[in-house]
Amino acid sequence: MDSQWELRETDEVWLPAAPSHWSIRPMKSLFDERSVKGHPNEPLLAATQSRGVVTKEEYGLRTVVAQSGLESLKLVEPGDFVISLRSFEGGIEVSHARGIISPAYTVLRLKNQQQQRFIMRLLKSRYFLDAIRMSVTGIREGQSINYSRLGTTDIPVPTEVDMLAINRYLDYAELRIAQAIQAKIALVHLLRERKSSIETELLFGGAWTTSSNSWFGLGAPGWKQLPARALFDEVIERNSVDLPMLSVTISRGVILQSDYMRSATSKKDQSRIDRSQYKAVQPGDIVYNKMRAWQGAAGVSHHRGIVSPAYVVLRPRPGVDSSYFGHVMRTAQFAREAERWSYGIASDMWSLRPQHFKTIQFSVPMSDEQVGIVTKLSVRTAEIDRAIDSAEREVALLREYRTRLIADVVTGKKDVRVEAANLPEVDPLELAQVLSGASVIEDDVEEEVSADAD
């Protein structure tokens, strides 16, 4: 080896030690900050934690043709780094497209492009997240990250030889791990398709068909067609006691927010929010996210808690089984109907407002039949649910292993030079494709939106 791998202490809280032959430099010395505006015709970009900075069209966010204020948005070029309002959760993202993005974001360009692959991993590593969180201004999630403060943070810069070895090692490791994740995700998709088929069969009366003009098909003989206003009462009970926070997720329905909070910082910031206007939820209530009902963000609550004022809380009337309709409102068929009734003036801010939800027609079995369908559904999908849970746990473990490995390698905790020397080169295009396929958002947990978005 050209140099021994010895660690020396640093003055950085997030980086207690680094290889003694690496340089330690302020972050801002590696970047040029850019704030180019006046390009309203460029595509709108979205900063995502799973796929980097991509066009909203590629990410699947709906956009309207005409929007005001586009001249004030910042221009981003491929390879630029973007500090978004969510970077304290998932790190600083690199852009894969040219376009424009919020003026509240910080756009950075690396001075030495040869460092790109190493730096992009470092800035998303779990250890560097601590440095980011120390630079968050404000007390609530989504507040700005102070780049003038973050820019003074020291970061490790390997020698050119070490950087090449690190890139080779992590390219190979990430490819293998991502391939394993992809295989598990494909299995989950197949299992969910099977489950969806069973749900469609039972929830929509057996022989579901699109020959009817209704979103729920023909239904079964004897089933009534009733508007939502005849089935549910909207409940607006303000928070009066210290109840746990709930949220509505696309994949798991209504859950305790503490089940998915990923960092102590997030929990601390959440504890400071004024929740006096939040809505109380009782077990058996159905909750949907107005902004994401068209994606399936709905479900029945099994908890007593509170939700954002932007959520809608429904209490089923007598004879209406909340479990049955909780299942119905999480189907792809209902999601499409919710989209049809959603309105708004901005791209991804379409809202299924209560007055519009109340007009949606449902196919309604008799009360005892609703309960029977839920029981049958539970029996027929139990094994599928267990298989999905098992595969998702394996995906989570693989992701955790990848996160830990990358963090240890880019901060010099792990010397990979010998191993890297014996690994084959990885095709960058193949790696990008596999990583993209393995970057499915784990739970699609929805951000809370302001109470005035109604």
pLDDT band at 143 (very low <50, low <70, confident <90, very high): low
∠127-131-134 over CA atoms, to 5°? 135
The pLDDT, as a whole number, for residue 304 is 93
The pLDDT, as a whole number, for residue 284 is 96
**Nearest-angstrom CA–CA distance, 236 and 244:** 17
The pLDDT, as a whole number, for residue 4 is 81
For range 409-422, the mean pLDDT: 96
The pLDDT, as a whole number, for residue 408 is 97
Q: Which of 25-29, 241-245, 321-325 has the lowest mean pLDDT?
A: 241-245
Q: Under a CB-based contact definition with an 8 Å cutoff, are residues 362 and 216 in contact?
A: yes
What helix, strand, coil percent values describe the chain, rounded to 5?
A: 40, 20, 40
Q: Under a CB-based contact definition with an 8 Å cutoff, are residues 228 and 214 in contact?
A: no
Backbone angles phi, psi at 194, to 5 degrees: -65, -45
**Ramachandran area for residue 432 (φ above 0: left; ψ -120 to 50: alpha; else beta):** alpha
β-strand 52-55 against 224-227: which pairing, if any? unpaired
Whether 207 shows a pLDDT value over 60: the answer reads no
**Nearest-angstrom CA–CA distance, 53 and 47:** 4
pLDDT tens for 29-67 read: 999 999 999 999 999 998 888 788 998 877 765 444 445
What's the number of CA atoms in the CB half-sphere (13 Å) around residue 205?
20
∠123-81-404 over CA atoms, to 5°? 20
Mean pLDDT across the chain, nearest whole number? 86
Beta bridge partners of 155: 25
Count CB atoms within 10 A of the CB of residue 36: 12
Q: Under a CB-based contact definition with an 8 Å cutoff, are residues 117 and 167 in contact?
A: yes
pLDDT tens for 379-408 read: 999 999 999 999 999 999 999 999 999 999
Which range scores top for mean pLDDT: 236-245, 260-269, 397-406? 397-406
Sorted by sequence, the CB contacts under 8 Å of residue 339 that are 6+ apart come out as 294, 350
Domains of the chain: 1-157 (3.90.220.20), 164-454 (3.90.220.20)
pLDDT band at 445 (very low <50, low <70, confident <90, very high): very low
